[in-house]
Structure 1
Amino acid sequence: MTSTIQFLIGAFQVTLFAVHCAGCFNYLIADRYPDPTRTWIGAVNPNFKEDSLWNRYVTSMYWSITTITTTGYGDLHAENPREMLFDIFYMLFNLGLTSYLIGNMTNLVVHWTSRTRNFRDMFRAASEFATRNQLPPRIQDQMLSHISLKFKTEGLKQQETVNGLPKAIRSSIAHYLFYPIVENTYLFQGVSHDFLFQLVSEMEAEYFSPRADVILQNESPSDLYVLVSGSVVSPSFKPLTL
């Protein structure tokens, strides 16, 4: 969603800049033309040079916007070869800009709808699987909560991004993100900084949905978890909160 908003803001800024530049340049052509009455603005207002700067700017922006949106009311149009030539290049530019914006917006919509469709398919498949195998409600809730959490955090892709970087950069990122947390963990009090630096370089961030089992009772754990935010419940039902 963030990338979509950024693209829309960027597209709006580019379009606004193009409209401004085209309107100002088209007015410059009319202002420098020998016969003011044979210009796009002079044909409807022969004394346009006597108008205020604001009125001339608004008129130029009006022409530019109606041209870039291909509205074409016909009240303002080219009156001499210079303006015709500029209008040709401006409309060709509009074709390229419009194609670029529509293409990217289509890709964003398709990407978003495909993610949503995949989430719905996975959610429905998990529900059918739980119903078909008559799983307990607690396990069903854990499955569906995990799928929902995965959908919400899919845009982060933190570990995929980090894994694609060189080891030195990965170590620097891990040191910045995890070292202050590990350093303040009671389990590692008094441990050397070199050991902690090597330890954090192997750490990965992991998310768990509410009521999900992190480690089952009597299970041989293969990972060491450091609680950063949230709370967990021990087998004795004693809450551990950070």
Structure 2
Amino acid sequence: MFYLVAQVEGHSRDSWVGRNADRFLGRPTTERYLLSLYYSVSAFTGLGDGALFASTVPEAAFMILYLFFNLFLAAYILGTVTMLVVKGDERSKQFRERMSSLNEFSKTNELPPALHSAMQEHLDVTFHSDQAPDEQVLAIYPTAIRSIR
């Protein structure tokens, strides 16, 4: 689109293509579009070499729309990744809260260390077995034991 905007303007000296004419002159159209893609990606990431800036009204209008699109796209991606990380961590948070409650309960009621350790192990096994379906857990046992449940 950057190259198309410059092409519509007739590659004037004010356009970014005109300012960088030495990079574009004598190159095939595919290379010109590839260079334009490079410039647009560098503008998107903010790592450009300073050669891509709007100096004409159509370039400025397109650059505004382009940067708003990139801003909203980056916000959407960041929000989605954050939501996935937080959602995946909810089970771990519940486990930590239950373990903390168990520790407080043990301390308050002065449970023996052996009982406290057994309760922690049970909580850990329960947490990890909730993720696996019954068939997967029982698959290693003989059918006689599997039929008892």
TM over 0.5: yes
Find the aligned partners of 1:47 and 1:139 in 2 and give their Cα distance: 71
1:41 counterpart letter in structure 2: V
Change (3 A) 1:126 1:232: farther
Alpha-carbon contact 2:13-2:19 (below 8 Å) kept: yes
Letter of the 2:96 partner, please give it: R
Change (3 A) 1:208 1:144: farther
Match of 1:207 in 2: 134
Select 1:48's aligned residue among 12, 24, 42: 24
Structure 1 position 84 matched with structure 2 position 64: no
TM-score normalized by the length of structure 2: 0.68
Structure 2 match to 1:12: none
Q: Distance in 1 between matches of 2:95 and 2:135?
A: 17
- Aligned-partner residue type, residue 149 of structure 1: S
Q: Does 1:144 align with 2:124?
A: yes
Cα distance change on mapping 1:122 and 1:53 into 2, 3 Å: farther
The structure whose residues are more often helix, as a share, is 2
**Which residue of structure 1 aligns with residue 84 of structure 2?**
108
Give the alignment of 1:157-236 within 5 angstroms.
206-207=133-134, 229-232=139-142
> What is the CA–CA distance in structure 2 between the aligned matches of 1:141 and 1:208, rounded to whole Å?
22
Instruction: Kindly provide the amino acid, as one letter, of the partner of residue 33 in structure 1.
Output: E
Higher relative contact order (CA 8 A, sep 6+): 2
Aligned residue type for 1:43: R
Count how many residue pairs are aligned between Structure 1 and Structure 2.
Answer: 143
The amino acid across from 1:144 in the alignment is D
Aligned to 1:95: 71
TM-score, reference length from structure 1: 0.46
- The CA deviation string for residues 22-72 of structure 1, in whole angstroms up to 9 with x for no partner, is xxx111111232244332122112572521345323321222112222345
For residues 129 and 233 of structure 1, the distance between their equivalents in structure 2, rounded to whole angstroms, comes to: 39
Tell me the equivalent position of 2:111: 132
- Paired AA for residue 84 in structure 1: A
Cα distance in 2 between the residues matched to 1:37 and 1:69: 25
> RMSD value over aligned CA atoms?
3.7
State how far apart, in whole Å, the 1-side matches of 2:75 and 2:82 are. Answer: 10
Residue type at the aligned position of 1:207: D
The residue number in structure 2 matching 1:61 is 37
- Separation (CA, whole Å) in 1 of partners of 2:99 and 2:58: 61
Q: Gaps (5+ residues) in structure 2?
A: none
The 3 A distance-change label for structure 1 pair 85 and 78 is: same
